[in-house]
Chains A and B, each alone.
Chain A
Amino acid sequence: MTGGESAALSVLGAVLGLDVVSFPQAMLSRPLVAATLTGMLMGEPERGLLLGATLECFALETLPVGASRYPEWGSSSVVGGALVALPGASTAGALLLAVIVTLGWAWVGGWSMVQLRRLNAHWARARHDAVARGSRATVTGLQLSGVTADLVRGGAMTLAGLLLFVPAFRWGVAHWSLADIPTRGVLMALAGIVAAAATHKVFHAVAGTRWYMLAGLAIGALLLGGTR
């Protein structure tokens, strides 16, 4: 990976990391979008999409609710997308390793967001008197400082992820010993199980949803039969 590619990916990771909470929260940072965009940027859109769809099954379980700590999918999906776009990374083993890296790095990214929130609190505390006086410059400044810090955080997470994981990923792909079919089977079975569990977790409180799920599965099975 060239320095130019790393720089471009870091900018993309910064923007997508920023999207998670600070601006504009348009869900560009969801793995389905972020990994696909990265794949497109790196000239491997299909691999990016495959990774993004797999990760989205995991991400369905993690919703960005309020003060809770949740995975930061924006910059981590850029790292994962960059990995599967590397030459020779079209195998199921490469996809599985990219999923592991993205899941782990997303959790570290969630930790970095917690640190940013603490930094924002420190800045707000230091400027409390000015805010209490109704200083327009202070209110605007706090907002811009937070957004800028988050942008830097996303970029740094992406660059650090690339530096850490590109060599490790190449080594892992070169030493992968299991065949493609069982590897893909294990990965997709787990992704499917998490997606099914997430659907239950998110929607189970609404009465009757199990019947909608069963009806959907019946339609899905019919469509599946039609494609075979």
Chain B
Amino acid sequence: MTAPPVPLPLGTRAAILLRLLAIQGSWNYETLVGNGMGFCVEPALRRLPGGVDGEAYRAALARQSQYFNAHPYLAAVAVGALARAELEGIDPTKIERFRTALCGPLGSVGDRLVWAAWLPLCALLALLVFALGASPLGTALTFLVSYNAGHLALRIWGINVGWREGLHVAHALGTPVLRQGPVWLARAGTLVAGVALPLVVQRLVGTGRAIQVEVLAAVLVGGFIVTRFHGRVDAWKWSFGVLVVFALYSVLR
């Protein structure tokens, strides 16, 4: 770890954090999140010699707005690190190489940690709370508060660790939370799913209904069969087809 050249003012950090929430605002199939990266680093670049009218600012903004790909939350790590590299006046060629090297890890680590672990865990937790009888507001807040606690913490951590470590930020990606986090979250997610599934079915079907047992049995048997076909077809798509046929039968008969 090396000490940053200058502290990043709180106002600049806040501006970067706010902009990070819109990092995918211009997402497209050619530059992906590239323009968003430039948009997010920009508040820090204003501190370059000459300010927003200076040549250093324009060159850095052009560099940071090129093609980039990363998980939107973990892009904060790249934003912090690249902001520091630009303000330290690192050789542009080195910055571009570093920028390219960050794309892969920040994408795959973020996908595994957030989309494939944290998001489903929080959704399952909220479904469990719903199944236990929570109110509409309580259920929605359970999901929003739990999910966004992790979401915002990850973005803030990303800016701070990126700024603190600069070009050495790769070490930070080896932290146990990022390496082992998806495993712990997956285990917690399956445990919560197991608890929630029968209770959710019970609440959705309605207590006291005779078909609860039949529906639960169908879920267990059907779920087991569908997992055997894992990867061949999305379950929600064929379920949609079944529902359409069922509805047509009921409406048209």
Contacts and interface: CB of A to CB of B under 8 A. Distances in A.
Interface of A: 21-28, 30, 32-33, 36-37, 39-40, 45-46, 48-50, 52-54, 56-67, 93, 96-97, 99-100, 103-104, 117-118, 120-121, 123-125, 131-136, 139-140, 142-147, 150, 172, 175-178, 181-206, 208-210, 212-221, 223-224, 227
Contacts of B246: 96, 183, 186
B57 interface: yes
A123 B61 CA distance: 18
Contacts of B100: none
Given A192-B222, A219-B194, 6 more contacts: A63-B115, A121-B30, A121-B31, A184-B206, A185-B215, A203-B187
A186 B204 CA distance: 11
A193 B238 CA distance: 11
Interface stretch (B6-14, B77-85, B132-140): B132-140
A5 B197 CA distance: 35
B194 A227 contact: no
Contact of B57 (A134, A190, A227): A134
B162 interface: no
Contact of A192 (B27, B119, B137, B218): B218
Given A131-B38, A188-B204, A45 B137 contact: yes
Given A177-B253, A204-B230, A120 B26 contact: yes
A115 B234 CA distance: 23
B119 A63 contact: yes
Interface string B115-142: 1110110111011001000011101100
The majority secondary structure among interface residues of chain A is helix
B206 to A, nearest CB: 7
B22 A22 contact: yes
B62 A150 contact: no
B195 interface: yes
B189 A224 contact: no
28 contacts: A24-B21, A32-B139, A37-B140, A49-B136, A49-B140, A53-B200, A61-B236, A96-B243, A117-B29, A121-B31, A124-B31, A134-B58, A134-B60, A135-B58, A139-B42, A139-B65, A140-B39, A142-B35, A146-B25, A147-B26, A172-B247, A188-B204, A193-B222, A194-B235, A196-B223, A201-B227, A209-B187, A217-B198
Contacts of B52: 136
Contact of A133 (B58, B147, B197, B200): B58
Interface residues of B, number: 105
Nearest to A195: B197
B36 interface: yes
Nearest to A228: B207
A49 B230 CA distance: 29
Interface string B31-71: 11001101100100000000010000111111001000100
B214 to A, nearest CB: 7
A192 B197 contact: yes
Given A57-B127, A139-B35, A192 B190 contact: no
B115 A200 contact: no
Interface centre among B28, B127, B189, B231 (most CB of A within 10 A): B28
A190 B239 contact: yes
B35 A143 contact: yes
Contacts, number: 343
B183 interface: yes
Contacts of B189: 199, 202-203
B182 interface: yes
Given A139-B38, A212-B187, A217 B194 contact: yes
B136 A39 contact: yes
Contacts of A120: 26-28
Given A25-B72, A27-B119, A184-B205, A216 B194 contact: yes
B192 interface: yes
Contacts of B111: 65-66
B251 interface: yes
A82 to B, nearest CB: 15
Contacts of A187: 243
A30 B123 contact: yes
A185 B250 CA distance: 14
Contact of A214 (B59, B69, B183, B194): B194
